[in-house]
Amino acid sequence: MIVKLLLDRKREGGELAPEEIRALVDAYTRGDVPDYQMAAFAMAVCCRGMTAAETHALTDAMQHSGACLSWTGPSADKHSTGGIGDKLSLVIQPLAASCGLSVPSLAGRGLGLTGGTVDKLESIPGYNAALSLDEFKRVVASCGVSIAAQTADIAPADKKLYALRDVTGTVPSIPLIVGSILSKKLAEGAGTLVFDVKCGAGAFMKTRADACALARALVDGAKAAGRRAAALVTAMDEPLGWTVGNALEVEEAIDVLRGGALGERALPWPRQARPLPHDVVELSVELAARMVSLAKGEDLDAARAACLANLANGAAFARFAEMVKLHGGDLDAFLAQRRVEDVSPGRAVAPRPPLAAADGFVASIDAQKVGQAAFELGAGRAQATDAIDPAAGVRLLVKRGDGVSAGQPLAQLYAPTRPERLPAAVRLVQEAIAVSSAAPTVRPLIVEIVE
C-alpha cells in the first residue's frame, strides 16, 4: 500500500476499495502510518465525503481493531449524540434491561460543557465505571445492564483517529462520525442499536437536515453490519429536564425511575415536590420501547406499555439500584448527600438567582447558554485531565411555555467549589431564558423517526 497514492485519489474525489481502507486503518493502528498522513486522509474525507461502501469498510476496520463482544438473547444499546441535560441513558438502559434485554453500554467521560454519562454516574460515591471487559460482562450477566467507561480494548483505531480529528478540524464529517460512533457500538456487541440524534442550538448537529442525514447514515451503517437499528431525531433547543450538572442529573433520573413507582410525595427529597420532567419521561419511553420492540421482535405499542409499566412498578429503578451496587456505588450515601445539599442551601447556591423581568410566558430557554453556565460553575471539563465538580450545575425552575410573574426565580445555581463564578453564570442563565407576553407554540420533541 502506498499511502500517498490513496491520499491523491481521495483528494480528487475518487473511491477507495474496502481492502485499501482496511489496510490503511490497520497500518495506522499499528503505528506504521504517521499522524500527518492520517490527518490528510481525514481532511480529504471531510472535503470529499465517502460512499456507503467506503463508510462501511472504515467502520468495520475500526470495529475490528480491538475486542468485539457478543451476547446471547435479546440485547440492545442506545447512543445519543449528546445535549444539555441529557441524562436519558441513566433511565433508558435500566428500563430496557427491566424489559428482559441485555444492555451492555460503554459510555464516555465528557469533554465539553457538562459531563458524560460516566461522569454523571461517578457522582454516586463508590461507583466504579472503570471495569475490565470481563467485569463488564459479569455485571451485564448478573443484572442485565452495565454502564461502564469505554476501555482501551474497544475500537483502539477510533481512539487514535478521534484524537487526531479533534486537533485537525476534521470532526464534522458524517462518514467519519458514523465510523467513530458505530465502530465502538458494534464492538460492544448489542444486536439492536437505537440512536438519539439531537438537533438544535444545544446539539452537535445544529440543523434538522444535518441531524437527519447523520441519523440515516447511522441506521444504514448499523443495518449493513447486521444489526437491527432505528433513530429518533430529537429537539435540543432547550435543556432536557430540569437539571444540568452531574449529581443533579443523577438525582433527576432517579426521580423519573422512582417517581412513577412511588408518587411525587414519596420521593426521597425533602424539598417541595417537583413535577416529573415530561420531556425526559417521553423520550426515555420512546427510545427504550424501540430497543425492546426491535430486540424482541415485539409490537411497538406493547413495548411502550411494558416500559411505562416498569417505570410505574419500580422494576426499572430496581435494575438501576442493582447496577449501581454491582459497580460498587452507594446509592443511600448519594441520596443522603443530596438531601444535605438541599437543606443547606448556603453551600454555594447563588444568593441572587436569575429572575423573570416581567409577567408573561417562557418563550425559549437557550440550551447552549445554560450549558455554558453549568460549565462556568464546574460541571464540565475543557481538557481530559480537568476535574469536574459533581455537585455543580443548574436547576431550572421553569420550562418553555410556563407562565411567570415579574420577580419570580427562574433557576437555582450550585457551585460548591467555585462560588466566585456564580454571578457570571447567573447572567448567562438570565440571558438564556426569554420571557414574552404571548405563550409560545408547542413544538414536538421528536422531529423525525428514521428506520
Q: Pick the catalytic residue: 10, 87, 165, 258?
A: 165
Q: Does 180 bind ligand URA (CB under 6 A)?
A: yes
From the list 29-37, 175-183, 258-266, 319-327, the region that binds ligand URA by CB under 6 A is 175-183
Q: How many residues bind ligand URA (CB under 6 A)?
A: 6
Helix or strand run (H / E) with residue 147: strand 145-149
Q: What residues numbered 147-166 form the site for ligand URA, per CB under 6 A?
A: 162
Q: Could you confirm whether 352 is annotated as catalytic?
A: no
From the list 92-100, 177-185, 218-226, 438-446, the region that binds ligand URA by CB under 6 A is 177-185
Name the residue nearer to ligand URA (CB basis): 171 or 267.
171
Within 10 A of 189 (CB to CB), how many other CB atoms are there? 18
From the list 147-155, 174-182, 327-335, 347-355, the region that binds ligand URA by CB under 6 A is 174-182
The 8 Å CB, 24+ separation contacts for 323-326 are 323/94, 323/97, 323/139, 323/143, 323/145, 323/146, 323/147, 324/121, 324/124, 324/127, 326/139, 326/142, 326/143, 326/146
**474496502: which residue's cell?**
18
Alpha helices by DSSP H, 99-155: 117-121, 133-143
Q: Does 391 bind ligand URA (CB under 6 A)?
A: no
225 within 8 A of 189, measured Cβ to Cβ: no
Q: Pick the catalytic residue: 119, 158, 366, 389?
A: 158
> Min. distance of Cβ 349 from ligand URA in angstroms?
33
Name the residue nearer to ligand URA (CB basis): 181 or 410.
181
> Min. distance of Cβ 183 from ligand URA in angstroms?
9
Q: Terminal CA-to-CA distance of the chain, rounded, Å?
A: 38
Name the residue nearer to ligand URA (CB basis): 27 or 171.
171
Q: Does 235 bind ligand URA (CB under 6 A)?
A: no
What region, left, alpha or beta, does residue 203 occupy, with left being phi > 0 and alpha being psi -120 to 50 degrees? beta
**461502501: which residue's cell?**
53
Name the residue nearer to ligand URA (CB basis): 176 or 201.
176
**443548574: which residue's cell?**
394
Q: Could you confirm whether 165 is annotated as catalytic?
A: yes
Dihedrals phi, psi of 205, to nearest 5 degrees: -95, 115
> Min. distance of Cβ 108 from ligand URA in angstroms?
7
Q: Does 197 bind ligand URA (CB under 6 A)?
A: no
Rounded Cα distance, 266 and 285, in Å = 22
Q: Does 43 bind ligand URA (CB under 6 A)?
A: no
Name the residue nearer to ligand URA (CB basis): 171 or 312.
171
Q: Does 177 bind ligand URA (CB under 6 A)?
A: yes
> Min. distance of Cβ 205 from ligand URA in angstroms?
10
Rounded Cα distance, 62 and 162, in Å = 11
> Min. distance of Cβ 163 from ligand URA in angstroms?
11
Q: Pick the catalytic residue: 10, 64, 79, 185?
A: 79
Side-chain half-sphere exposure of 205, counting CA atoms within 13 A: 22
Which residue of 181, 199, 240, 432 would you call a contact of ligand URA, by CB under 6 A?
181
Name the residue nearer to ligand URA (CB basis): 177 or 392.
177
Fill in the DSSP letter of residue 437. S
Q: Could you confirm whether 271 is annotated as catalytic?
A: no
Q: Could you confirm whether 158 is annotated as catalytic?
A: yes
Q: Could you confirm whether 332 is annotated as catalytic?
A: no
Rounded Cα distance, 186 and 181, in Å = 9
Within 10 A of 448 (CB to CB), how many other CB atoms are there? 16
Binding interface with ligand URA (CB under 6 A): 162, 171, 176-177, 180-181
Indicate which residues carry an active-site annotation: 79, 158, 165, 180, 184
